[in-house]
Structure 1
Amino acid sequence: VPPQDVISRDNVPVKVDAMILFRVIDPEKAVIQVEDAREATSQLAQTTLRSVLGQHELDEMLSEREKLNHDIQIILDQHTDAWGIKVSNVEIKQVDLDDNMVRAIARQAEAERQRRAKVINAEGELQASEKLMQAAQTLMQQPQSIQLRYLQTLVEVAGDRTTTIAFPLPMDLLEPLLGRPRKGSDDKPPAA
């Protein structure tokens, strides 16, 4: 069968190359019922191919070839039976797209990949913010954990010996060294 121009159900123009295997099972019918059995079978195959594939979307043409081959074979075999011809196999060899259509499909696929990546990034941001919120709540419930985190940060910063670092020291850590009572303490200053 010569390559056929087909417009799919989703309006995508394609060129379809197919092969049909048939044999004459009743020579008398093949001569009497039809003028040229080979040409008639070829013409019927072309129109059937365009008709059947035109009812399907491009994705189906590409992914369901076996089913389409079978459907076309059944239709052809039913019509050629009266001519003494048995269609034994139909094979869609190739479905070609126009170059412009290939580029358009590639752009669409890229846009879909970017959309999915954005969704995944957004979900990751949501999970990270939830974890930060949990950490903040834990720190608020246990003030000692803030001091531990502060000391841990100092250790990390002190690991880089090439830089001079000035950091604030909480005054409540220095109060015992200065001899001042801590706020909220019942200790009274010594009487003079």
Structure 2
Amino acid sequence: MPTEIIMGILAVLLLAAFAFASIRVVREYERVVAFRLGRLRGALGPGLVFMLPFLDKLIRIDLRTVTLTIPPQEVITRDNVTARVNAVVMFRVTDPVQAVMSVENHAIATSQFAQTTLRSVVGRADLDTLLAHRADLNEDLAQSIARQTQEWGVEASVVEIKDVEIPEMMQRAMAREAEAERERRAKVISARGELQASKELRDAALTLSEAPASLQLRYLQTLLELGADQNSTVVFPLPMDIVGPIVQAVQRFAGDDDPSSAPPQTHGLKVVDRPLEGESR
């Protein structure tokens, strides 16, 4: 084979290898920050990117949102309660050049800063705020982290506290407090019910006092309720305005003026013993 042909084949192979080494494919959600001999060329992509082998260096930056889990942190709240708090941070790179030039590793830097900010923000709040007003703490965390990461070309979009672990002793104390609060509410509701019932009974008594016939009907209804069961005692309710004159007439007839010998007052109730079924009188 002639030498010229061999040299031509070698040249073609070298050109193919050079072209293969010079072409990079950048995806739509990526950008590459290019350096030539140490000098910044800028952000390139997406699509085909040409570079000079051994002269250019490309650093790929992912522009998608990254979910970063902050490990549990030991935090002492403002009311001196120890708690373990973990959170999640969602961020994305908005400026690839700043993400490379301003910080060595933007993901690790964001994680470390989020941990310190979490301890700082939670330490300024008390336990009740941490448990009941978590949304306010999330907003405070997001603003604090966003102010710092903005300088790195990183946008922290979501910061959420995932879980709060408190000591078992504090959990029991909170359970007792919740139980006492429920008992207080139950007693208040019961007292309000008794007050409302007493008002209704007062109104009913006033209504019955204005209509004697209604009171007699109520007496009859009471007798029906007492006679529904097999009771050995029958109670006849009698108004005092009827019983009083009869008792006075009996006293005058007997000529007994001694108050101590007067028959006992039954407050308008007449009690009659009634034998049960099968019992002899």
- TM-score between both structures, scaled by the size of structure 1: 0.71
- After the TM superposition, which residues 73-84 of structure 1 pair with which residues of structure 2 at under 5 Å, given as runs? 73-84=142-153
Match of 2:233 among 137, 140, 165: 165
TM-superposition CA deviations, 1:22-48 (whole Å, max 9, x none): 455556655654465444433321121
In the other structure, the counterpart of 1:183 is none
Q: Secondary structure at the match of 1:3?
A: strand
C-alpha distance in structure 2 between counterparts of 1:76 and 1:2, whole Å? 16
Distance 2:79 2:237 in 1: 70
1:101 pairs with 2:170: yes
Give yes or no for contact 2:98–2:152 (8 Å, CA) kept in 1: yes
Range moving further from structure 2, 36-45 or 125-134: 36-45
The residue aligned with 2:200 is 131
DSSP 3-state at the match of 2:156: strand
Q: How far apart in 2 are the matches of 1:56 and 1:115?
A: 28
1:39–1:133: structure 2 CA closer, same or farther, 3 Å change rule?
Answer: same
Q: CA deviation at 1:94?
A: 1.2
Structure 1 residues 146-155 or 106-115, which shifts more?
146-155
2:111 to 38, 42, 49: 42
Separation (CA, whole Å) in 1 of partners of 2:89 and 2:236: 85
Residues 36 and 132 of structure 1: CA distance in aligned 2, closer, same or farther (over 3 Å): same
- Asked whether the equivalents of residues 226 and 234 of structure 2 are also in contact (C-alpha less than 8 Å), the reply is no
The residue type equivalent to 1:110 in the other structure is E
Residue in structure 1 matched with residue 85 of structure 2 by the alignment:
16
Structure 2 stretches lacking a partner, 5+ long: 1-69, 244-281
Contact conserved, 2:99 with 2:152, CA < 8 A, in 1?
A: yes
Match of 1:87, SS? strand
State percent identity of aligned pairs: 52
Q: Does 1:145 align with 2:219?
A: no
Q: In structure 2, what residue type is equivalent to 1:105? A: M
Over 3 Å counting, the alpha-carbon distance change for 1:168 and 1:77 in structure 2 is: closer
RMSD over aligned Cα atoms: 3.0
Q: Please report how far the alpha carbon of residue 151 of structure 1 lies from its aligned counterpart in structure 2 after TM superposition.
A: 1.9
| Structure-2 separation of matches of 1:33 and 1:168 | 99
Choose 104-113 or 49-58, whichever is displaced more: 49-58
| Residue 135 of structure 2 corresponds to residue 61 of structure 1 | no
Tell me how far apart the structure 2 counterparts of residues 59 and 113 of structure 1 sit (CA, whole Å).
18
What is the TM-score of this pair, normalised by structure 2? 0.51
| Matched letter for residue 148 of structure 2 | H
Instruction: Work out which of the two has the higher radius of gyration on C-alpha atoms and give 1 or 2.
Output: 2
Q: What is the deviation of 1:69? A: 3.0
SS in 1 for 2:71: coil
Cα distance in 2 between the residues matched to 1:149 and 1:63: 54
Written as runs of structure 1 = structure 2, the 5 A alignment for 1:82-121 is 82-121=151-190
User: Greater share of helix residues, 1 or 2?
Assistant: 1
Task: Say if 2:125 is the partner of 1:52.
Answer: no
Measure, in 2, the Cα distance between the counterparts of 1:93 and 1:79: 22
Structure 1 residue ranges without an equivalent (≥5): 174-192
